[in-house]
C-alpha cells in the first residue's frame, strides 16, 4: 500500500482542487482492489473542520488512507478533508484514530462519513480535469493530448501521478515563468531542481537549454516519477534524479557549483537551506525559490540575504510567491 500513497497538498479557495488532476486517481484507485470487484473505484472518508485542525485530522487518518487532500470550502472558513482508501474503511478504526487525536488535543471528536466512490472512466476524467494548457513558453499536456504543441512553445508531457507538479499550481507556474525569463538572457549549463516532484521544472530546464540537469527530492516516489517523465519527454539522457533531503545527496553535492538552482519546496526548508544554497550556487548564479505564501516572504528573504544573496525579483500569484536571488560575482579580494 505504501507505494500507492499519494501525499496531496492543501488548496485554498472555494473551488479548491487537489494538486493532482484527481486525488483518487493519484492514489491508484483504479482497479485491482476489492473496490473494483464491487463496482466502485474506492472509498472516501470525509470530514469538515476548521483550518487550524486540518493537519491534526489529516495526520490521524494518514495510516488508514492511500491519499489525503484538504480543501478550503468557505473562504476563510470551513475546510473539507478527504481521505481515500482502496478497501472499505473500518468505521470503528476511523473513529478510534480520530478519538486518539481528539483526546491528545483535548477537543471534541469530529463527525465523519464514509462513502464509496462511483466507478470512473479514468481516461475521460483525466482529459477533463487535466486539459492541455499553454503557460507562457510552455505547453503542458497529458499523454491523452493528440494535438500538436503550438509553434514556438515547448511541450511538457505530464500525466496525473503520485508526485506534485502538473503545472496547475501557482508556485510551479511562478518557477516556469522565471526559468523562461532567464532563458532570454542567460545560457545555463549547470542547473539543479531541488524538490523536483513530478520533475516538471527539470524537464523545462532540459528542454529550454538542451542541457543536463540534476533533480532531487526527499520523496523516492517523486524521483521515480521524475525519471519516468524524463523518458516520456525524450530527455532521459539529460535528467539525473536522486533522493535527497535538501542538498545532502552525493548527486546534488557533486554537481556544484550550479549556475541555476530552482527550488519549489516550502518556506521553512527554504529558509533552513539558505547556507547550503549559497555553498552550492556559483557566483553570479540565480536561485529561484517558491512554495511560500506571500506572508512567508520576510523570513525566507532574510535567510538568503544573510548569506549575501541579493533579491532580484518577487512574483506573486494566487497568494503564493516566487523569489529570485542572485549570488554576486567575485571581487578580486573575495575567497572562492
Ligand X SMILES: C[S@@+](CC[C@H](N)C(=O)[O-])C[C@H]1O[C@@H](n2cnc3c(N)ncnc32)[C@H](O)[C@@H]1O
Distance CA 92, CA 70 (A): 22
Question: Judged by CB, which is closer to ligand X: 60, or 196?
Answer: 196
The contact pattern for ligand X, residues 133-172, with x = CB under 6 A and - = no contact, is: ------------------------------xxx---x-xx
Question: Judged by CB, which is closer to ligand X: 197, or 285?
Answer: 197
Q: How far is the CB of 169 from ligand X (least distance, A)?
A: 6
Q: What values do phi and psi take at 269, rounded to 5?
A: -60, -35
Question: Judged by CB, which is closer to ligand X: 44, or 141?
Answer: 141
Q: Which of residues 271-310 bind ligand X (CB under 6 A)?
A: 291
Sheet holding 258-264, edge to edge: 239-243, 213-217, 191-194, 258-264, 281-293, 320-327, 309-317
Q: Are 21 and 160 in contact (CB under 8 A)?
A: yes
Q: How far is the CB of 164 from ligand X (least distance, A)?
A: 4
Q: Which of residues 193-212 bind ligand X (CB under 6 A)?
A: 194-197, 200-201
Stretch that binds ligand X, among 106-114, 191-199, 306-314, 318-326 (CB under 6 A): 191-199
Distance CA 45, CA 43 (A): 7
Applying CB under 6 A, which of residues 82, 217, 259, 324 lies at the interface with ligand X? 217
| Sequence-ordered alpha helix ranges (H) in the chain | 23-26, 34-37, 54-61, 91-105, 122-129, 170-185, 200-209, 220-232, 250-254, 267-272, 274-280, 297-306
Question: Judged by CB, which is closer to ligand X: 97, or 225?
Answer: 225
Q: How far is the CB of 30 from ligand X (least distance, A)?
A: 22
Question: Judged by CB, which is closer to ligand X: 117, or 218?
Answer: 218
Q: How far is the CB of 224 from ligand X (least distance, A)?
A: 12
Q: Which of residues 218-257 bind ligand X (CB under 6 A)?
A: 218-219, 222, 244-246
Residue 214 CA: distances (Å) to CA of 154, 196, 280 = 20, 9, 12
- DSSP class of 202: H
Q: How far is the CB of 333 from ligand X (least distance, A)?
A: 34
DSSP calls for 107-157: -PPPP-EEEEEPP--HHHHHHHHS--EEETTEEEE-TT--SPPPTT-EEEE
Question: Judged by CB, which is closer to ligand X: 11, or 44?
Answer: 11
Give the footprint of ligand X on this chain (CB under 6 A): 163-165, 169, 171-172, 175, 194-197, 200-201, 216-219, 222, 244-246, 264-265, 269, 291
Amino acid at each position: 500500500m505504501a507505494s500507492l500513497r499519494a501525499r496531496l497538498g492543501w488548496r485554498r479557495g472555494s473551488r479548491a482542487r487537489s494538486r493532482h488532476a484527481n486525488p483518487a486517481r493519484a492514489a491508484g484507485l483504479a482497479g485491482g482492489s476489492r473496490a473494483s470487484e464491487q463496482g466502485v473505484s474506492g472509498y472516501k472518508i470525509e470530514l469538515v473542520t476548521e483550518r487550524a485542525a486540518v493537519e491534526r485530522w489529516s495526520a490521524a487518518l494518514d495510516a488508514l488512507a492511500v491519499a489525503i487532500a484538504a480543501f478550503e470550502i468557505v473562504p476563510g472558513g470551513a475546510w473539507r478533508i478527504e481521505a481515500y482508501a482502496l478497501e472499505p474503511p473500518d468505521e470503528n478504526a476511523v473513529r478510534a484514530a480520530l478519538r486518539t487525536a481528539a483526546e491528545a488535543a483535548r477537543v471534541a471528536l469530529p463527525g465523519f462519513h464514509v462513502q464509496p466512490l462511483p466507478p470512473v472512466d479514468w481516461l475521460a476524467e483525466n482529459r477533463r480535469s487535466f486539459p492541455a494548457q499553454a503557460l507562457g513558453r510552455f505547453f503542458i499536456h497529458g499523454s491523452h493530448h493528440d494535438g500538436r504543441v503550438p509553434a514556438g512553445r515547448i511541450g511538457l508531457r505530464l500525466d496525473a501521478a503520485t508526485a506534485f507538479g502538473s503545472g496547475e499550481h501557482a508556485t510551479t507556474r511562478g518557477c516556469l515563468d522565471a526559468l523562461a525569463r532567464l532563458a532570454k538572457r542567460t545560457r545555463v549549463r549547470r542547473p539543479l531542481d531541488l524538490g523536483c516532484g513530478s520533475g516538471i521544472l527539470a524537464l523545462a530546464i532540459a528542454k529550454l537549454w538542451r542541457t543536463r540537469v540534476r533533480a532531487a527530492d526527499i520523496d523516492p516516489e517523486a524521483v521515480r516519477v521524475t525519471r519516468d517523465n524524463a523518458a516520456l519527454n525524450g530527455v532521459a539522457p539529460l535528467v539525473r534524479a536522486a533522493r535527497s533531503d535538501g542538498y545532502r545527496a552525493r548527486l546534488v553535492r557533486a554537481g556544484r557549483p550550479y549556475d541555476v538552482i530552482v527550488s519549489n519546496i516550502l518556506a521553512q526548508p527554504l529558509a533552513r537551506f539558505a547556507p547550503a544554497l549559497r555553498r552550492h550556487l556559483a557566483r553570479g548564479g540565480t536561485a529561484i525559490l517558491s512554495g511560500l505564501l506571500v506572508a512567508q516572504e520576510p523570513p525566507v528573504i532574510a535567510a538568503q540575504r544573510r548569506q549575501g544573496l541579493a533579491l532580484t525579483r518577487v512574483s506573486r500569484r494566487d497568494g503564493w510567491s516566487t523569489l529570485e536571488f542572485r549570488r554576486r560575482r567575485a571581487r578580486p579580494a573575495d575567497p572562492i
